[in-house]
């Protein structure tokens, strides 16, 4: 089909929105900051997708991955802070960073609203990240061409 | 979109089994009933057990809820059963047993593959 488009309709090739090789992705990050190499792979892969012009509908942080959404973690100066990398990628591309709310609450990752609701001492969710239900993973998976999951 | 989920974690000891089954139920609630393939220690989730550790929810109860959510396409890898000396008849659910050599072919039948 892709080959057929290429041969028959030059406009289809020129317009970036219908380049047959551009796909929509959903990324699931299940590994946390303590699994540095896997978590970094998830980031690099997503970054590369965006650089190559693919669309990333949503990055979904689940299980240990929710710790990447903490704005209260401090890394040694010579080590990568994956949270700030994700934040910058989100700012650059308007990328949606969705965090499973059930997993986040259990890990002390709360936004101002949840902090008030449960009368906690403060909020810890890093900016650019949003707390959403697990249903948002299901909704996104129904829409994407590819769903890629990181974490063992 | 058809989805296959592979569950490879033991029922207790971490939250992984619980969280992966939660994802399966949510997919089903969105009318995307996944097929589920149990491999490695994941097959232990299918053992009929009467009690769970106090620190965990009863995985067997969640497993028995799969049917209510119309998740009926359950697969178990033969080699994983062998590793624990189990046979399919001993499991809490009716499952399809599949040889490891055919798992790749199974995966290829689905649009998406979510691995836990």
Q: According to the model, what pLDDT value does residue B54 have?
A: 85
Q: Does B115 touch chain A (CB under 8 A)?
A: yes
The rounded Cα A73 to chain-centroid distance in angstroms is 18
Of B15, B26, B116, the CB nearest to A135: B26
* Residue A144 falls in the annotated catalytic set: no
* CA–CA distance, A141 with B80 (Å, rounded to integer): 28
Q: Where on the phi/psi map is residue A9: left (φ > 0), alpha (ψ -120 to 50), or beta? A: beta
Q: According to the model, what pLDDT value does residue A8 have?
A: 36
Yes or no: say if A96 and A130 are a contact pair by the CB < 8 Å rule: yes
Query: Does the pLDDT value for residue A4 go beyond 70?
Result: no
Mean pLDDT of A30-50: 93
Domain ranges of chain B: 3-115
In a domain, A58, yes or no: yes
Query: Does the pLDDT value for residue A19 go beyond 80?
Result: no
Q: According to the model, what pLDDT value does residue A21 have?
A: 80
Tokens of A140: 């996104």
Residue-number span of the structural domain to which A92 is assigned: 23-150
- A141·B27 Cβ contact <8 A: yes
Q: How many domains does chain A have?
A: 1
Nearest chain B Cα to A141, which residue?
B1
Yes or no: say if A109 and A70 are a contact pair by the CB < 8 Å rule: yes
In a domain, A143, yes or no: yes
In a domain, A5, yes or no: no
Chain A residues within 8 A of B110 when measuring between CB atoms = none
- Mean pLDDT computed over every residue of chain A: 88
CATH of the domain at A63: 3.40.1260.10
Distance in Å, alpha carbon of B29 to nearest chain A alpha carbon: 8
Query: Does the pLDDT value for residue A12 go beyond 90?
Result: no
In a domain, A4, yes or no: no
Q: Does A105 touch chain B (CB under 8 A)?
A: no
Query: Does the pLDDT value for residue A15 go beyond 90?
Result: no
In a domain, A73, yes or no: yes
Q: According to the model, what pLDDT value does residue A18 have?
A: 53
ipTM of this complex prediction, to 2 decimal places: 0.70
Of B15, B29, B112, the CB nearest to A147: B112
Query: Does the pLDDT value for residue A14 go beyond 60?
Result: no
Kindly give the parts of chain B with pLDDT less than 50: none
Q: Does A141 touch chain B (CB under 8 A)?
A: yes
Q: According to the model, what pLDDT value does residue A7 have?
A: 35
Nearest chain A Cα to B23, which residue?
A134
- Identify the active-site residue in A49, A100, A126, A140: A100
Q: Does A149 touch chain B (CB under 8 A)?
A: yes
Q: Exposed e or buried b for every residue in A25-53, given b needs 16+ CB within 10 A?
A: bbbbbbbbbebeebbbebbeebbebbeee
In a domain, A62, yes or no: yes
* CA–CA distance, B11 with B8 (Å, rounded to integer): 9
pLDDT digits (tens, 9 = 90+) for A123-134: 999 999 999 999
In a domain, A104, yes or no: yes
End-to-end, the C-alpha distance of chain B in Å comes to 19
Determine the topology of domain B3-115 in CATH.
Hypothetical Protein Ychn; Chain: A, (3.40.1260)
């Amino acid at each position: 089909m892709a080959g057929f488009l290429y041969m028959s309709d030059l406009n289809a090739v020129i317009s970036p929105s219908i380049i047959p090789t551009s796909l929509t992705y959903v990324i699931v990050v299940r590994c946390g900051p303590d699994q540095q190499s896997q978590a970094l792979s998830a980031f690099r892969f997503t970054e590369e997708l965006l650089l190559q012009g693919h669309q990333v509908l949503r990055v979904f942080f689940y299980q240990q991955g929710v710790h990447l959404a903490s704005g209260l973690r401090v890394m040694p100066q010579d080590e990568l802070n994956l949270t700030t990398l994700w934040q910058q990628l989100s700012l650059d591309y308007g990328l949606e960073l969705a965090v499973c709310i059930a997993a986040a609450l259990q890990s002390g990752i709360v936004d101002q609203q949840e902090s008030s609701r449960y009368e906690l001492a403060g909020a810890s969710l890093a900016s650019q990240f949003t707390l959403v239900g697990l249903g948002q993973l299901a909704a996104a998976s129904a829409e994407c061409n590819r769903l890629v999951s990181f974490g063992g | 979109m058809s989805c296959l989920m592979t569950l490879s974690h033991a029922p207790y000891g971490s939250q992984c089994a619980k969280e992966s089954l939660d994802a399966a139920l949510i997919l089903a609630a969105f009318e995307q009933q996944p097929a589920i393939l149990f491999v490695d220690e994941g097959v232990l989730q299918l053992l009929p057990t009467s009690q769970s550790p106090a620190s965990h929810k009863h995985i067997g109860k969640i497993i028995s809820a799969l049917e209510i959510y119309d998740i009926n396409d359950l697969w178990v890898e033969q080699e994983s059963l062998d590793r624990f000396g189990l046979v399919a008849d001993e499991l809490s659910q009716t499952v399809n047993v599949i040889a490891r050599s055919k798992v790749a072919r199974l995966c290829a039948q689905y649009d998406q593959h979510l691995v836990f």
